[in-house]
Amino acid sequence: MKLAVIPARGGSKRIPGKNIKAFYGKPMIAWSIEAALKSACFDEVIVSTDDPGIADIAERYGARVPFRRPDSLSDDHTGTIPVIQHAIDWYRQQGCSLSQVCCIYATAPFLQPDDLRLGQEVLEARQADYVFAATSFPFPIQRAIRLDANGRVDMFSQEHFNTRSQDLEEAYHDAGQFYWGRPDAWLAGKVIFSNASAAVLLPRHRVQDIDTPEDWQRAEWMFKAMHAEAGNAQ
């Protein structure tokens, strides 16, 4: 059985109701649910939540909510892996054999079904523990700076002050969209960012972390621009 798990707890503080707040005509979580269903990669798409309102909306858009996430896994400090472990354990207790489990974030409106399909193909082809979406940094991280308490500047890597940008190794970061994984890797709590994992690279214009109101506004601008471009191309 191939399972998609969308973690979506209630109680978001920086953006109240973030997981179900309207984003271009739909609750935010609906975009993730629809991408998962359209991908046809999964036998079941479920939402792991402690919130009845989120559960109702998730079911309305086609996801299942077979259990309520316990309070012990619904606070500000609970990471992704324990939430996925809980879902896997629940299915195993029901006698279900899982072959692949994909965590999909609830705030991923740029996620495309093809991205999920490609991630699944890479997981199978490379026999990786995990496969996740990533994108490149827009600026060389080797030339990053820090500010001290007095606002003074220091480079993280002073040795690269005179290195040309084109001579520096390109760096990538997690896109915060999906994480395909093998059940045993999830249950063992294996680190996702390791040499046992592989990445599906996405263009930067389809990646936006959404943690603050500023992030949300930027995501709206990006989404509007993408759809305007798509309409002009037709």
pLDDT digits 0-9 by tens, 160-197? 999 999 999 999 999 999 999 999 999 999 999 999 99
What pLDDT does residue 234 have? 52
**Considering the domain boundaries, does residue 153 fall inside one?**
no
In the chain, the number of structural domains is: 1
Residues 224, 215: Cα–Cα separation, whole Å: 14
**Considering the domain boundaries, does residue 164 fall inside one?**
no
**Considering the domain boundaries, does residue 10 fall inside one?**
yes
SS3 of residue 80 by DSSP: helix
What pLDDT does residue 133 have? 98
- 221, amino acid identity: W
Residue 118 domain boundaries: 2-136+170-233
What pLDDT does residue 228 have? 85
Residues of the chain under the 50 pLDDT cut: none
Residues 155, 132: Cα–Cα separation, whole Å: 30
**Considering the domain boundaries, does residue 158 fall inside one?**
no
**Considering the domain boundaries, does residue 122 fall inside one?**
yes
Please state at what angle helix 52-60 crosses helix 28-39, rounded to 10 degrees: 40
What pLDDT does residue 54 have? 97
Contact between residue 39 and residue 5 where contact means Cβ atoms under 8 Å apart = no
What pLDDT does residue 64 have? 98
Nearest 5°: phi and psi at 215?
-60, -45
Q: Any alpha helices (H) in 94-163, and if so which ranges? A: 113-126
**Considering the domain boundaries, does residue 155 fall inside one?**
no
Residues 52, 1: Cα–Cα separation, whole Å: 26
Q: Any alpha helices (H) in 25-172, and if so which ranges? A: 28-39, 52-60, 80-93, 113-126
**Considering the domain boundaries, does residue 57 fall inside one?**
yes
What pLDDT does residue 113 have? 98
What pLDDT does residue 14 have? 86
The CATH number of residue 108's host domain is: 3.90.550.10
Chain centroid, CA 122 distance in Å: 17
**Considering the domain boundaries, does residue 150 fall inside one?**
no
